[in-house]
A and B are shown apart, each in its own frame.
Chain A
Amino acid sequence: MPHPFLSTSRRGLLKGLGGLALGAPLFSALRGQAANGQAERVIFFYFPDGVVGPSQNGEASLWHCTGSESNFQLSETLGGLSNHKDRCVFFNGLSMGATDSGSHPGGAKKLLTAADYGNNESIDQYLARTAGWSSPWRHLLLGVQANYNNASGDKHISYPVAGSSLPPQDDPRQAFADIFGSYNHGSVDSGGEAAPSARGKVIGAVKEDLLELRGQLGGVEKDKLDYHVSSLEELENRLGGGGGGGTAASCGDPAIDTSAINDGNLYDAGTFPAILRAQTDLMVLAMECGITRVGTIQCASHTSELLMSRFAGTDFYDPNYDMRSHQASHYGASHNRSSREFSAYLAQRKWWVQQYAYLLDQLASRPEGDGTMLDHSIVVLVTEVCDGNTHLHDNMPFVLAGGASGRIRTGRLLQYSGDRHGNLWVSVGRAMGQDMGYFGDSSSGPLWGLVDG
């Protein structure tokens, strides 16, 4: 059965969003909101369990590119990015540091926080409350089976406060309803004046309580309460500002395809590709409509039991043999192409790159300003370790795509020698218009040579 918001309520949604766009004082210019020379948006795209990096026996990485800054070859794993090669920046030699190197959870904690043990806010959350503060949704945190089997907190990569992560929203139907359905709280619903002001009054009363409580605590639980206040202010923004001001036709009639997804198969491995596609489409739609500037898509989680061998239509599809992501990642000491684990692992990693490429395709196919959405975006591909067998935190296999509204010259291979990945997050933050000096416990400034100006 199709989701109600995608079928019967379509008309209501259309009306809601169209009307909101008309009376949107705060966000009417959101799609052009970023100051000149700033990236409009950033997306962090995570997949689990690393890549085929340098092997234990010393064979060269099948992920990292070779060549000079401007004249280089895509690696075997990254072949799926050939259409976007000149819109990407590739990295060699970025490090997450020695702490917990060799560990999946240790890497996942450091990944977006740039701090050992996840003892920092993550970069996506930081940008949500800075660059994204005035967006209707400061942050869109979408998952794909990221909470499978009650995944514990170290498996999630987004940290609103130091030491505590947030579970992503794994159900694109619910996420879609949250974003495009609840917008009826705005002033355009046929109910007139009462409905929106009621929600606003309730939030006002709750904020008073929060400030009273925080005042009594003298610093105890300050982070928790500050974050709570910030969440309510985000909701107030939505009420006050209404719609995202997106002008694309799709914003007036928002839809994503969730026809293959139901309550019973949300955590079936075979449904994973359809969910990922829906979440990716939703992220692009929300950004196209100016609803958010900061997004995170978390595919599964580290040490994943995800049965990728059940992905129909892939070249690693094997209904008769169960191959999990993490199982494949322990492929052995060498790149042995006759090994079942190795060949599956390499093919899986190519598939993740293709999913990232699909996200880039979507952004590149939508005009924006003098170019495309991709030209004004930053899209970062990340995972929590380098080679899936050695689990080292050096030479991290990250890719950055998008021109950041001209702040980042793409089509380059950048070489570093152990520069910390916190510097990359500083550079991303600067391209998003934030005056950042450092980020996390290890960065020393922006990543040399990445962002212009």
Chain B
Amino acid sequence: MTWLLLLSACGISSVPKEESPGTGIGGEELWSCDSTGTHAPRQLRLLNRREYQSTVRDLFGLGTGASCSSDTDCNLETESCTAGRCSADPCGTGTFVLPDAGYGSVHVAGAFNGWPGTVAAGGWAMAYDATGDRWWLKAELGEGSWQYKYVLDESTWIADPTNPNQADDGYGGYNSLLTLSCSGGGLDDIAGLDLTAAFPVESRPQHFAFDNNAAAGLVSATLAEAQLDAAEEVAGLAVLELERLTGCNPSDDSCAEAFIRDFGGRAWRRPLTESQVQRLLDLLLGESDRTEGFSLVIQAVLSSPYFVYRSELGVARGDGSYALDAWEQAAAMSYFYWGTMPDAELFSAAAAGDLADSAGIRSEAERLLADPRARGTLATFAQQWLGVEAVLTTQKSEDFPDEVRKAMLAEVGDFYTHVVLDSSGRLPELYTADYTLANPTLAAWYGLETPGSDGVISNGDRAGILGMGAVAATYAHSDQTAPIRRGLFVREALLCQSLGTPPANAASVPTVDPSATTRERFSQHSSDPFCASCHQYIDEVGFGMERLDTVGQWREEENSFPVDASGNINDIEKLGNRMDHPYQSLPELGELLSASERVNACFSVQVMRYALGWDPEEDPLCAFDPQRQVLLENDLDMRQLLLSVPSSNAFRIRE
């Protein structure tokens, strides 16, 4: 059987185009494009669950709203750092702060955790904040009166010297007394609401990894009702503090109108038209009870299509195309970088016309990406791009604790964010890093050293994202590794190569057999020429991850046989090139990927899919080639690509 037949059996054309599109790794020919560049369609983008939750929080957020990366950056007594922003603590949050006096450790002991004398026995360890020279801890205690003491160096018990409220401890001393009440409630409690619990999950079209696909964002009756319920819950709290919310006397009609213009404008991310103001004002003034009027307006604003959809419709440019207007541009940017509504500064930039040209857009983009609020969004992008959210639910035969699963998902987000913002920013580092970011639980699971406070540890031979537990476990079966799924993960998520659907009568996964390695059991794929037509591209890639078992732990042996993690990632740049790239280990596989042009192109595609909530009909590698060029011109710096997105034609100009 000839190669040509084998390739066509896999649906791959091996006939090269006449014009050579250039070469990539090892002189491999690149894919070719008839044209490059594209424009996203005019569309409405439904807020997904995380965007909805963050937007409502920010809309009512009456914390200082300052940027932060830790709770200690905020007003610690009353605020927490949520998604890079200081916001008011929900009711029931206990905050413990103790000025340092040379302690080695401090923990909190109380009725809520059984008065433990040590951290090992269940004491809540406080963290040391060098800037404030203090120890601190926040905990969700819930409503009630709570007695507690601090335990210094696990030996000396003291009452909280900063808390005047005390109760007899029964031993001739005093416990400190913390009383938390959630009754009454108000604006500060909105941030703590779980508003989207009843929202349906987002639908993600085939081959679209992200939760923000515009076409799939539909308001079913179930979602419409959940949105109305959420708005009602929010309004119920907001009207408890109308004067604080409006900053004026809510019984004055002028106050009502000013509120509608301000609140409505921020919620709808653009100034309201006069007729919109009038409609909402009529709704408000139509109620004999002013509080009820405000409640209706808040609910109507939050349930409106102008709130639940982000407009990316644009303004006609006269040539059949449309350009996002300043308000649309501002919102598109804030949701791309932050996953939430624009802040006051970005709104001001839009109002001042600063977003009308590339320089102004660039300047805001730099501010947004540098803000800590970008971190959560970067982490989410990475987790969705790599498809690893499934690590939280994927069923395993072995014990696979929830805290390890969560730590693995966090690792992917933390590592990616670290590379982009705190390290080189270069794409190859994702595949070649000899370190990772893990919490102590995950480090122990991996059998690695205990991480320091920054979480950075040597990762053994795990080679960046390729060896992450979340990748290994997501792309594995319950009872055996899955070289096919892992190989397809590399081809599809990292290289944007599609191998089509498997043949109808493909054999099943080989039966688990304790007398052989997984690799041996999959040997049929290379010995049967029909299978090999596709599996030549899959298995030999997945084998590179064979040292990672089904739950992300390292193994040198399988069933007492040494694991062979060598392989061949052929045709990296273009399927059908018939070029081999053998490797001996996972780090070598990472090196090959990091040197590939295709990896750069595919990363650009994934970023643009996320940014636009859309996948072009034409070859996305060609459609988003301008973004690959940005990477190439900037030494593969992902930050430069991310900063270029909002001023790109694909983003700003719609058809």
Contacts and interface: CB of A to CB of B under 8 A. Distances in A.
Contacts of B478: 305, 307, 322, 324
A228 to B, nearest CB: 4
Contact of A390 (B217, B479, B504): B504
Contacts of A152: 203-208
Interface in A122-145: 137-139, 141
A67 to B, nearest CB: 29
Contact of A330 (B207, B292, B507): B507
Interface stretch (B221-229, B596-604, B634-642): B221-229
B537 to A, nearest CB: 19
B219 interface: yes
A161 B299 CA distance: 27
A174 B198 contact: yes
Interface stretch (A7-15, A101-109, A376-384): A101-109
B237 interface: no
A56 B503 CA distance: 12
Contact of B393 (A138, A148, A217): A148
Nearest to B206: A154
Interface string B324-355: 00000000000000000000000000000000
A333 B508 CA distance: 11
A323 to B, nearest CB: 9
Interface stretch (A79-87, A203-211, A412-420): A203-211
A305 B550 CA distance: 14
A202 B303 contact: yes
A198 B508 contact: no
Contacts of B304: 205-206, 209
Interface in B276-321: 276, 279-280, 283, 292, 295-296, 299-300, 303-306, 313
A443 interface: no
Nearest to A216: B313
Given A163-B215, A178-B222, A389 B504 contact: yes
B198 A178 contact: yes
Contacts of A194: 292
Contacts of A217: 313
Interface residues of A, number: 77
Interface in A178-205: 178, 182, 194, 198-199, 201-203, 205
Interface stretch (A39-47, A230-238, A351-359): A230-238
Nearest to B393: A267
B506 A330 contact: yes
A139 B504 CA distance: 34
A161 B198 CA distance: 22
A309 to B, nearest CB: 9
B138 interface: no
A390 to B, nearest CB: 5
A297 B205 CA distance: 20
Contacts of A235: 221, 224-225, 228
A102 B500 CA distance: 12
Chain B interface category by residue count: 35 or more
Contact of A153 (B206, B306, B477, B501): B206
Given A163-B215, A307-B478, A389-B504, A205 B279 contact: yes
B389 interface: yes
Interface stretch (A23-31, A218-226, A278-286): A218-226
Nearest to A392: B504
Contacts of B394: 149, 305
A105 B206 contact: yes
A102 B300 contact: no
A421 to B, nearest CB: 19
Contacts of B280: 205
B221 A137 contact: yes
Interface stretch (A165-173, A247-255, A365-373): A165-173
Contacts of A72: none
Interface string B195-236: 000101111111110000101111111111100110110000
Main secondary structure of the interface of B (DSSP, over half): loop
B300 A202 contact: yes
Nearest to A151: B204
Contacts of B501: 100, 102-106
A104 B506 CA distance: 13
A328 B279 CA distance: 60
A150 interface: yes
Interface in B446-483: 474, 477-479
Contacts of A241: none
Contacts of B228: 199, 202-203, 235
Contacts of A100: 501
A160 B300 CA distance: 25
B215 A269 contact: no
Contact of B300 (A206, A228, A391): A206
Interface in B231-277: 231-232, 276
Contact of B220 (A105, A150, A166): A166
Most chain A Cβ neighbours within 10 Å, of B280, B299, B387: B299
Nearest to A103: B501
A104 B228 CA distance: 37
B305 A213 contact: yes
Contact of A322 (B221, B229, B477): B477
Most chain B Cβ neighbours within 10 Å, of A100, A213, A310, A341: A213
Given A201-B296, A202-B303, A206-B303, A149 B390 contact: yes
A231 B219 contact: yes
A324 B306 contact: no
A59 to B, nearest CB: 14
Contacts of B511: 340
Contacts of A101: 504
A234 B222 CA distance: 10
B477 A150 contact: no
Nearest to B42: A220
B201 A164 contact: no
Nearest to B198: A174
A77 interface: no
B424 to A, nearest CB: 30
Nearest to A270: B395
B43 interface: yes
Contacts of B206: 105, 152-154
Nearest to A341: B508
B131 interface: no
Contacts of A305: 394-395, 477-478
A407 interface: no
B512 interface: yes
Interface string A267-311: 111000000000000000000000000000000000001010010
A122 to B, nearest CB: 13
A225 B305 contact: yes
Nearest to B227: A206
B44 interface: yes
Contacts of A138: 221
B504 A102 contact: yes
Interface of B: 42-44, 198, 200-208, 213, 215-225, 228-229, 231-232, 276, 279-280, 283, 292, 295-296, 299-300, 303-306, 313, 387, 389-390, 393-395, 397, 474, 477-479, 501, 503-509, 511-512
Given A100-B501, A203-B228, 13 more contacts: A105-B501, A148-B393, A152-B207, A153-B205, A154-B206, A161-B218, A167-B200, A205-B280, A231-B224, A267-B395, A269-B395, A307-B395, A391-B505
18 contacts: A150-B389, A166-B200, A166-B220, A167-B201, A167-B203, A178-B198, A198-B299, A201-B296, A205-B296, A205-B303, A209-B276, A217-B313, A220-B42, A224-B44, A267-B393, A327-B509, A330-B508, A330-B509
Interface of A: 56, 100-106, 137-139, 141, 147-150, 152-154, 156, 160-161, 163-167, 169, 174, 177-178, 182, 194, 198-199, 201-203, 205-206, 208-210, 213, 217, 220-221, 224-225, 227-228, 231-232, 234-235, 267-269, 305, 307, 310, 321-322, 324, 327-333, 340-341, 389-392
Q: Which 6 A-B pairs have the closest CB atoms?
A: A330-B508, A149-B390, A102-B504, A154-B206, A205-B300, A391-B504
